Amino acid sequence: MHQAVIAATGLYTPDQSISNAELVEAFNAYAVRFNADNGAAIAAGTVEALTPSSAEFIEKASGIRARFVMNKSGILDPAVMRPSIPERPNEEISILAEMAVAAARQAIDRWGKPASEIGAVLCAASNMQRAYPAMAIEVQQALGIEGFAFDMNVACSSATFGIKTAADFIASGSAKAVLMVNPEICSGHLNFRDRDSHFIFGDVATAVIVEAADQAPKTGEGAGWDILGTRLKTQFSNNIRNNFGFLNHCAPEGVGAKDKLFVQEGRKVFREVVPMVSEMIVTHAADLGIDPTGLKRLWLHQANINMNEMIGRRVLGRDPTRDENVIILDTYANTSSAGSIIAFHRANSDFAAGETGLICSFGAGYSAGTVFVRKR
Ligand code: COA
């Protein structure tokens, strides 16, 4: 069995960003318009009036101050309230693949080896742009990679499921190096007309190269991270759901319904996912002979500040500092599968050889994945 290492990571950040104040202004203008348009029905009690959103609430409930997006103007136009992303001809690279390729190029540069040494590409994300051909195959072609590629979707947990799949491919000898990308245009699945959730998500892409330990440098800059152990868990729940899918057009009455975008029972998610993930981390650590309280850093899925802090407390057994429990929610918001990889990518350069940390993601399904890593 071949051991796997995380050899390099990459990050693509869109150049447009929306502050809470801007988002709230757009929502509140939409709400005023909606209430005026539906004045009679609201007075008759058949339609509920919309209440304004608040930037203070958003920051307190989620820790989010801003989010990067692929298109700002559409989201902030009260008459549109969604990103404006024109379709591209089939001859042009798809937008999701373009983001993934940008992140992948950075990872490949940092890796320092040619893309041709990669044997497989996984596109692991919450929302694929189309049914087929796979986004991963388009990324593979754009980078001139041989071998095979496919898409996988485990919602916010997609990246850790992708890392484990890559590590398993390496263990079994299916590939010597695997590129795993997480392009997320979460703004496309977000209902910007829903006050309870319009602030949650942002857009980004991340990339991870996993390679066989026996061909990676053992020391120095390019040595990467030993993958000490990976574990996945799923448990069905309707509390985070998105019913968008190819059968929607077979039931036209449902097209445009709120459940064709992201919906959640936020409080139930909080109550059920925090214990599930905390216990999983602690048990997995024990099985690997790792004391969780001695981890140098947690790179958790960026769900919201309260969930992340509570999981951090339960795992480390103390109030973690921001240095121990990395938070990038304030500028990126929840970026689904990419969140834990952004955190890892941005906050790992101070690790000395032998120091250990945890990449962990969790989300819809429910699903959760843990990847313990040690700096080589
Ligand atoms: N602006 C102002 N007030 C708002 C608001 C907004 N945008 N959205 C909700 N509120 C109000 C509600 O109307 C409610 O008011 P009430 O008490 O008078 O009825 C109050 O704030 C609390 O609403 P609630 O939806 O219960 O908020 P919450 O405190 O549970 O926080 C989440 C909402 C989503 C941040 C929280 O449930 C959470 O952290 N959930 C975890 C799930 C998660 O992060 N999932 C992401 C995918 S993994």
Q: Which helix (H) or strand (E) holds 17?
A: strand 16-19
Let me know the angle formed at the C-alpha of 232 by 197 and 304, rounded to the nearest 5 degrees: 25
Instruction: Say how far apart CA 102 and CA 138 lie, in whole Å.
Output: 13
Q: Which two tokens stand for residue 87?
A: 């379709």
Cα 32 to averaged position of ligand 1 atoms, centre (Å): 21
Domain contains 324: yes
Q: Which helix (H) or strand (E) holds 280?
A: helix 266-287
Marked catalytic residue, from 156, 186, 250, 360 = 156
Report which protein residue has its CA nearest ligand 1's atom 9. 196
Instruction: Say how far apart CA 282 and CA 293 lie, in whole Å.
Output: 9
Domain contains 318: yes
Instruction: Say how far apart CA 283 and CA 310 lie, in whole Å.
Output: 17
Contact residues for 79 (Cβ-Cβ < 8 A; gap 6+): 33
Q: What is the pTM of this model?
A: 0.96
Q: Is 156 a catalytic residue?
A: yes
Closest CA to 199 of 361, 19, 35: 19
* pLDDT tens track for 306-323: 999 999 999 999 999 999
Question: In CATH, what number is assigned to the domain containing residue 331?
Answer: 3.40.47.10
Domain contains 321: yes
Domain contains 204: no
Atom nearest to 267 CA in ligand 1: 37
Ligand 1 touching residue 195 (CB < 6 A)? yes
Q: What local confidence, expressed as pLDDT, does residue 49 receive?
A: 97
Q: Which helix (H) or strand (E) holds 30?
A: helix 20-37
**CB-based contact 181:100 (threshold 8 Å):** yes
Instruction: Say how far apart CA 40 and CA 259 lie, in whole Å.
Output: 26
pLDDT (tens place) for every residue of the chain, 376 residues total: 889 999 999 999 999 999 999 999 999 999 999 999 999 999 999 999 999 999 999 999 999 999 999 999 999 999 999 999 999 999 999 999 999 999 999 999 999 999 999 999 999 999 999 999 999 999 999 999 999 999 999 999 999 999 999 999 999 999 999 999 999 999 999 999 999 999 999 999 999 999 999 999 988 778 999 999 999 999 999 999 999 999 998 988 877 788 999 999 999 999 999 999 999 999 999 999 999 999 999 999 999 999 999 999 999 999 999 999 999 999 999 999 999 999 999 999 999 999 999 999 999 999 999 999 999 9
Domain contains 171: no
Domain contains 154: no
Domain count within the chain: 1
Report which protein residue has its CA nearest ligand 1's atom 34. 266
Amino acid identity at 255: V
Containing domain of residue 301, as a range?
A: 223-375
